[in-house]
Chains A and B, each alone.
Chain A
């Protein structure tokens, strides 16, 4: 930590930063109003699948960057799980060195265009910003600026494939291709390893592809990064289920020297209430995957049509918001969020909630399903909701919901999406003997992300139970660094 602070101080002391700081008085910087994101009109966007946010213009980005005071102690960095040098990239934008800004981002974050779109900035960097903490003003729009710099680089055509060390001939593999595995793979390729990414589905990207919808994170952004990685020599094998197609033992025999498990937490959880097995009740995972990867919503497709008229989504996280907004786009008349706490307790990003509201999503907060009713064909027809009140805060300070007795009522539904969280995919933990897991099925790792088995590392949701894109990526990078150190010691010095 000492070192990082020292390094940040040195960076801040550089002449160009000093010059920028002097150019505009702090008083004038704080007088600038936070930039507004351009968005598709809500009436139009709720009927298409195109990205809602349209990005900032160059001039807007520069002005927003001017708001940043380049603090002596940049608390924003503390809020970032991968410690991006935030003031440095923001100041590069102020200096109109947009490619330079992207480069700073990529020092610690391999997918800035993704993170700029999906990170919960309001709970992380922007929450710790001097504006939020001390001035009680809207924070510098760090997320918007991150997205701006990354998009600029991509669209400039000047995005370069990272330098890759000479191939050392050592084969390593990841299980999964979500953000954790992608970050790991890209670092390992840079170190010179022969990297293979095994993915169970037919698309690369994990949740970035099958979970988060196009209107929030266009596939082309993810594909661009994947193409770059292919150029770096990384091999992608899709429709390959490790543990089924081949086991880790088979892969060892095939010459792989180390593994990174980034298999995520894709096992849907349910509430186990009556009627949850009815036809028309889906897990969010199934609902979003079918729509995002299999185009199930298109008429004449062989998967069931998922576009109901009265669609209820259970939950208050990003998954719930993505599902409900998807339902709206598929033509739901009533696309409803059923959440047992109040809006304040929702885990979803604030922007998602705001967008959902603008798009006409109905929020039934302080309501909880207790039963689903179905017709003689087993198809869901209605649900019984119970009203809730907020009780005492728990030890973490969060208020918990308490059912209000005799408050049940019935509403008609034809589609229900249960978005109450997921559990780790059990296949890998179950198929590797001796791999230590917690009682919740997550893989136990040390600070190097190394599991109880020497050649197996793990990170992302399979370790954390559930996390964010940025945390998953951070894990992948930590694992890569440690794995490299170990392999180099063992194999390269011989």
Chain B
């Protein structure tokens, strides 16, 4: 009998596959299906501070200046916010009543505003943990790197003060010293870090000479980014790590476990391959474990992490140097 269980954020998961926050985790029907297909936990679609602000602007957009200046609409965004939060609280409650896997709520934070207060409501609603999807655009020229870093820490400290349930941070990979930042975050009272959230970048349409939306899904090569940083950091930090980005199949899943991830979050592959992919990835994982005579995840988790490597510098190599020239010659 193979043991696929893993510990993530202090929770015991029946296997290492978590449904990442996405459209699939925004309604009860899909959450139930995800459970039926074998997923071990669900991160709900994030509740977005920014989206509520946009919703406010949209509803005011139909009004002229006189009407949008009416007293009862002046703080209408707070109404929208409360409505959104109430709906979200309801989703947590319904999900908790319907499924037995852990439900992780997700808040999208763009600033360290009063928004953090809502964390408490999500805890009260029964969320098993909270993921902070901190999303500060690295393109804001008015902010220094240090300010962005401090905002992260500030948000974490504020939320930590509000709630008792485990809290994780889904962070960006845009830091001038990523390992130092991961280390710094891990030294707060955080329970886990998700490496990494994904910035959807814009694309250009060269026919229309215009900006166009880019593809929202990851490709199956992108896992190399979380792979490297999970391998480098997993043995150095105490909190849990979940890897996210480009994990599309069991091979990538196994690689991230070898790098030391406690769990793996998937989104695009479910969109692209259907819910059946969950079961498929787990089956392949089991087959591979059997072929390698592993009976439990813990037997190989972190086997290729920094501390377990003879030559860890391989993980840190960022310049192409010789490898590139050899490669180029080989291909001639």
Contacts and interface: CB of A to CB of B under 8 A. Distances in A.
Contact of A421 (B60, B73, B117, B151): B73
Contact of B71 (A318, A386, A396, A423): A318
B113 A347 contact: no
Interface string B64-91: 1111111111111011011001000000
Interface stretch (A132-140, A269-277, A292-300, A356-364): A269-277
Interface in A180-205: none
B146 interface: no
Contact of A315 (B62, B66, B75): B75
A298 to B, nearest CB: 28
Contacts of B68: 394, 396-398
Contact of A396 (B67, B78, B85): B67
Interface residues on A, range: 35 or more
A403 interface: yes
A115 interface: no
B114 A370 contact: yes
B75 A396 contact: no
Interface residues on B, range: 20 to 34
A403 B74 contact: no
A466 B71 contact: yes
B162 to A, nearest CB: 8
A268 to B, nearest CB: 11
A87 interface: no
Contact of B65 (A269, A318, A396, A461): A396
A465 B63 CA distance: 14
B78 A272 contact: yes
Contacts of A422: 72
B7 interface: no
A123 interface: yes
A386 B114 contact: yes
Given A269-B78, A272-B82, A273-B117, A394 B61 contact: yes
B72 to A, nearest CB: 3
Contact of B73 (A271, A405, A466): A466
A274 B117 contact: yes
B112 interface: yes
Given A272-B82, A396-B61, A397-B65, A315 B117 contact: no
Nearest to A394: B57
Contacts of B85: 272
B136 to A, nearest CB: 10
A317 B74 contact: yes
B325 to A, nearest CB: 47
A371 B113 CA distance: 11
A421 B76 contact: yes
Contacts of A466: 70-73
A398 B69 contact: yes
A405 B60 contact: no
Interface of B: 53, 56-58, 60-76, 78-79, 81-82, 85, 111-114, 117, 147, 151, 154
Interface of A: 123, 265, 269, 271-274, 315-319, 345, 347-348, 370-371, 386, 394-398, 400, 403, 405-406, 420-423, 440, 461, 465-467
